[in-house]
Amino acid sequence: MKKVITAALLGVMLLTLPTACVKETLEKVTVKRGTKIWLNAGTPALDTGRIGDYYIDRLTGLLYGPKAETGWIGTPIRLVSSHSLEEPNTIHSGATRPPTTIGKIGDLYIDTQAVKLYGPKTAQGWGEGVKIGGVPQTPPNDLPNYRLSEDGTTLLAWFNTQTLFIDMRTDSRLNKVTEIAAGAFRNELEFGIPESYAVRSLIINRGVKKIGMRAFSGLQYLEAITLPGSLRKIERGILTGCERLKYINLEDGIEEIGEFAFVGCIAESIKIPHTVKKIGRDAFHEWKNITELKLPEGVEQVDSNAFAFCTSLRVIDLPASLGRMGSNTPFERCSNVQSVIIRSKTPPAYPAYHISFGNRVNIYVPDESIETYKNSDWASYLDKTKIKPLSSFTR
């Protein structure tokens, strides 16, 4: 006898999952040999379900599964259109193929005998079913490398952990992407441990306008990256923990480098675009190999600890446009600085003690401004013998 799977008729188990403000129900339907189809709003959590289970996202109509040992791998299948999601859909079941007389447009159907999922039903009928159940096998090599949003503008996730070189400009679909989602390269395994990606080089296409937080965080083998000028702001922590990252190409157009953006990289130098106006807190924290830093004219603000623990840094060159630093010096624990160049013809607004390094460094200012600096309140905490004309600076 055919039946409709509902909580009332079949006693579908409801598990209450607490959230910050609301409660949501997670339904599960047992199909065969313990295999279950889970239904909830949103993408499946890592700890939802067991190996072989399936998951339907009620918000998007996507079917995930079967679940593997490493989680919900693979590209989900779209079951329900966004139009169909405007009203509740019913999941029917029976021991045969679904009769044309059962269900309304948008409904799903489970053949419990053949273990197939049909739907969503359209005006033309049920279509062909999708085989479900059982323990998943090793994914085939022809699985897609990545998953995009429905409109093709957002890179949601990169699946292929063995890809070595990614140039988004060379892929017709990736070249149309305008956004990379937060954590797109952070496929987490159990206990929140991110899966290891082999990628060595990343070139982001020039149409990308936003990259979410921690999108590339923890790519331990990444050595080179190019970020386009269409990206106005580099978000928080997008490359934190990329311990082999040595070559960073930032194109003109970028205006802000967010906090913790490039923590712990091994690059020996960085060319900051002249379009950058602000560098966030701890953005280049612990760059132990950089020896010289030149901020271009146009940079207006550098926040606290932006270049902290850059222990090989010897020379700092600051533009006339720089008028603001964080409450703490951007150069905390830069213990080997020898020279600071200040391009401004008048003493800057930021305090002198942020760049004094205990009065052990020489401070070079425009030649015509020597007396202006020495006689200013700005220099009251400095050893004025350390203030020298810029023309005398040598490396």
pLDDT by residue for the chain (395 residues), tens digit each? 333 332 222 223 222 223 333 333 445 545 444 467 777 777 777 677 777 777 777 666 677 777 765 566 666 666 554 444 445 566 777 778 899 888 887 777 877 777 777 877 788 888 887 776 544 444 444 447 899 999 999 999 998 888 888 999 888 899 999 999 998 997 654 434 556 788 989 999 999 999 999 899 889 899 999 999 999 999 999 998 898 999 999 999 999 999 999 999 999 999 999 999 999 999 999 999 999 999 999 999 999 999 999 999 999 999 999 999 999 999 999 999 999 999 999 999 999 999 989 888 999 999 999 999 999 999 988 999 999 999 999 98
Look up residue 176 and give its amino acid.
Answer: K
Whole-angstrom distance, CA of residue 198 vs CA of residue 160: 9
Give the Cβ contact number of residue 85 at 10 Å.
16
Structure confidence at residue 329 (pLDDT): 95
Give the Cβ contact number of residue 15 at 10 Å.
12
Give a yes or no: residue 325 inside a domain. Answer: yes
How many independent structural domains does the chain possess? Answer: 3
Give residue for tokens 């205990």: 358
Whole-angstrom distance, CA of residue 117 vs CA of residue 119: 7
Q: Are 124 and 167 part of one and the same domain? A: no
Secondary structure class of 350 (helix, strand, coil): coil
Structure confidence at residue 156 (pLDDT): 93
The token duo for 293 is: 């830093």
Q: Are 236 and 327 part of one and the same domain? A: no
Give a yes or no: residue 265 inside a domain. Answer: no
Residue 374 DSSP one-character state: H
- Mark which of 237, 254, 271 sits at the end of a domain: 254
Q: Are 122 and 161 part of one and the same domain? A: no
Q: Which CATH number covers residue 352? A: 3.40.50.12480
Q: How far is CA 60 from CA 42, 76, 116, 177, in A?
A: 8, 10, 20, 20
Residue 102 DSSP one-character state: S
Q: Are 235 and 296 part of one and the same domain? A: no
**In sequence order, what are the beta bridge partners of 155?**
148, 180
Structure confidence at residue 89 (pLDDT): 60
Q: Are 14 and 113 part of one and the same domain? A: yes
Structure confidence at residue 187 (pLDDT): 60
pLDDT, tens only, 189-240? 443 455 678 898 999 999 999 999 989 988 989 999 999 999 999 999 999 8
The kind and range of the H/E element at 226 are: strand 224-227
Q: What is the pTM of this model?
A: 0.63
Q: Are 222 and 120 part of one and the same domain? A: no
**In sequence order, what are the beta bridge partners of 32?**
35
CA 18 to chain centre: 26
Give a yes or no: residue 344 inside a domain. Answer: yes
Q: Are 337 and 389 part of one and the same domain? A: yes
Are 218 and 239 in contact by the 8 Å Cβ rule? The answer is: no
Whole-angstrom distance, CA of residue 358 vs CA of residue 371: 21
Q: Are 303 and 375 part of one and the same domain? A: yes
Residue 252 DSSP one-character state: B
Give a yes or no: residue 136 inside a domain. Answer: no
- Mark which of 72, 102, 131 sits at the end of a domain: 131
Give a yes or no: residue 264 inside a domain. Answer: no
Q: Which domain holds residue 38?
A: 3-131
Structure confidence at residue 73 (pLDDT): 60
Whole-angstrom distance, CA of residue 45 vs CA of residue 110: 23
Q: Which CATH number covers residue 183? A: 3.80.10
- Mark which of 72, 98, 131 sits at the end of a domain: 131
Secondary structure class of 78 (helix, strand, coil): strand
Give a yes or no: residue 274 inside a domain. Answer: no
Q: Are 102 and 194 part of one and the same domain? A: no
Q: Are 83 and 189 part of one and the same domain? A: no
Give a yes or no: residue 232 inside a domain. Answer: yes
